[in-house]
Amino acid sequence: MKNQAILFCLCAALAVPVMAQQSTTTSDQTAPAAQSDTRAPIPEQKPTNFWDGDDPNLINLIAHPFANKAYVRRHTQPIHDRLNELDQLSSEHGTMIKDVDARAQKGIQLASEKEALADQHSTDAGNKAQLAQTAATEATTKVSATEQMVANLDQYKGSAQTEIRFRSGQSTLSKTAKDALDQMATPLKDQRSYIIEVRGFAPGRGQAAIASSQKMAESVARYLVLTHNIPVYRIYVQSMGNAPTSAEAATEKHATGARVEVSVLKNDLASTAQR
pLDDT digits 0-9 by tens, 141-180: 887 777 776 666 566 777 778 899 998 788 889 999 999 9
CA distance 89 to 85: 6
Q: Is 55 helix (H, G, I), strand (E, B) or coil?
A: coil
Where residue 13 falls among pLDDT bands split at 50, 70, 90? very low
Burial of residue 198 (CB within 10 Å: 0-12, 13-18, 19+) is buried
With a cut of 70, say whether residue 11 has pLDDT above it: no
With a cut of 70, say whether residue 201 has pLDDT above it: yes
Where residue 31 falls among pLDDT bands split at 50, 70, 90? very low
Closest Cα partner for 193 from 264, 96, 248? 264
> What's the pLDDT score for residue 79?
85
CB count, 10 Å around CB of 237?
19
Where residue 267 falls among pLDDT bands split at 50, 70, 90? confident
CA distance 203 to 249: 15
CA distance 61 to 226: 150
CA distance 213 to 202: 5
Q: Is 262 helix (H, G, I), strand (E, B) or coil?
A: strand
> What's the pLDDT score for residue 30?
45
pLDDT tens profile 114-130 = 889 998 988 999 999 99
Strands (E), the chain: 157-165, 194-201, 235-241, 259-266
CA distance 14 to 12: 5
With a cut of 90, say whether residue 222 has pLDDT above it: yes
Question: What end-to-end distance do the CA atoms of the chain give, in Å?
Answer: 145
> What's the pLDDT score for residue 182?
92
Overall average pLDDT of the 238-259 stretch = 68
Burial code (b: 16+ CB inside 10 Å, e: under 16) for 142-165 equals eeeeeeeeeebeeebeeebebebe
pLDDT tens profile 66-118 = 545 666 677 678 888 888 888 888 888 889 998 898 989 989 999 989 889 99
Where residue 247 falls among pLDDT bands split at 50, 70, 90? low
Length of the chain: 275
> What's the pLDDT score for residue 129?
92
Closest Cα partner for 212 from 204, 220, 224? 204
With a cut of 50, say whether residue 58 has pLDDT above it: yes
Q: The whole model's pTM is what? A: 0.44
CA distance 262 to 124: 61
Task: Report all structural domains of the chain as residue ranges with CATH numbers, in order of start.
Answer: 157-274 (3.30.1330.60)
